[in-house]
Amino acid sequence: MSKFKLQKRVLLIEPGYKVKYPPLGLMKISTYHKLRGDEVFFFKGKNAAIRDQKWDVIYITTLFTFQWKTTVDTIDFYRRNKSNSVVKVGGILASLLPEDLERETGIRPHIGLWDKIDRLTPDYSLVSGTYSYYTNNASFAYMTKGCPNRCSFCAVHKLEPNFIDYIPLKNQIDQNKKDLILLDNNVLASKEFSVIVDEIIDNGYQKGAMFGKAHRYVDFNQGIDARLLDEEKMALLSKLAIKPLRIAFDSIKLQKTYIEKIHLAKQYGIKHISNYILFNHTDTPEDFYERLRINIELNEELGINIFSFPMKYMPLNSKDRKYAGPNWTHTQLRGIQCILHATHGVVGPRKPFFKKAFGRDAGEFKYIIEQPEELIFHRERMESYF
What is the pLDDT at residue 380? 64
Give the model's confidence band at 385: pLDDT under 50 very low, under 70 low, under 90 confident, else very high. very low
Instruction: Report the pLDDT averaged over residues 216-237.
Output: 95
pLDDT at residue 176 is higher than 70: yes
**Omega cis (within 30) before 244:** yes
Question: Does 273 map to a domain?
Answer: no
Contact at 8 Å (CB) between 342 and 380? Answer: no
In tens, the pLDDT along 105-152 reads 999 999 998 988 988 999 999 987 677 676 778 999 999 999 999 888
Q: Could you give the CA distance from residue 331 to residue 368 in angstroms, rounded to a whole number?
A: 11
pLDDT at residue 5 is higher than 70: no
What is the pLDDT at residue 345? 86
Question: Does 197 map to a domain?
Answer: no
Residue 65's domain comprises 9-116
Question: Does 303 map to a domain?
Answer: no
Domain of residue 59, CATH code:
3.40.50.280
pLDDT at residue 376 is higher than 90: no
In tens, the pLDDT along 304-323 reads 999 999 999 999 999 999 99
Give the model's confidence band at 384: pLDDT under 50 very low, under 70 low, under 90 confident, else very high. very low
What is the pLDDT at residue 1? 43
Give the model's confidence band at 375: pLDDT under 50 very low, under 70 low, under 90 confident, else very high. confident
Q: Could you give the CA distance from residue 361 to residue 359 in angstroms, rounded to a whole number?
A: 6
pTM of the model: 0.91
Mean pLDDT of the chain: 92
In tens, the pLDDT along 52-76 reads 999 999 999 999 999 999 999 999 9
pLDDT at residue 4 is higher than 70: no
Give the model's confidence band at 343: pLDDT under 50 very low, under 70 low, under 90 confident, else very high. confident
In tens, the pLDDT along 271-317 reads 999 999 999 999 999 999 999 999 999 999 999 999 999 999 999 99
Q: Could you give the CA distance from residue 39 to residue 46 in angstroms, rounded to a whole number?
A: 20
Instruction: Report the pLDDT averaged over residues 360-371.
Output: 94
Question: Does 49 map to a domain?
Answer: yes
Q: Tell whether the torsion through CA atoms of 300, 301, 304 and 305 is positive or negative.
A: negative
Structural domain total, the chain: 1
Question: Does 59 map to a domain?
Answer: yes
What is the pLDDT at residue 374? 83
Chain centre distance of CA 354: 25
Question: Does 253 map to a domain?
Answer: no
In tens, the pLDDT along 201-225 reads 999 999 999 999 999 999 999 999 9
Helices (H), the chain: 24-35, 48-51, 68-79, 92-96, 98-105, 115-118, 156-159, 193-202, 231-237, 255-267, 285-302, 330-342, 351-358, 362-369, 373-377
pLDDT at residue 373 is higher than 90: no
What is the pLDDT at residue 6? 73
pLDDT at residue 386 is higher than 50: no
Residues in a beta bridge with 59: 12, 88
What is the pLDDT at residue 171? 84
> Which residues contact residue 335 at a Cβ distance below 8 angstroms, ignoring those fewer than 6 apart?
368, 369, 370, 371, 373, 376
Helix, strand or coil, per DSSP, at residue 339? helix
What phi and psi values does residue 276 have, to the nearest 5 degrees?
-90, 125
Question: Does 34 map to a domain?
Answer: yes
Question: Does 379 map to a domain?
Answer: no
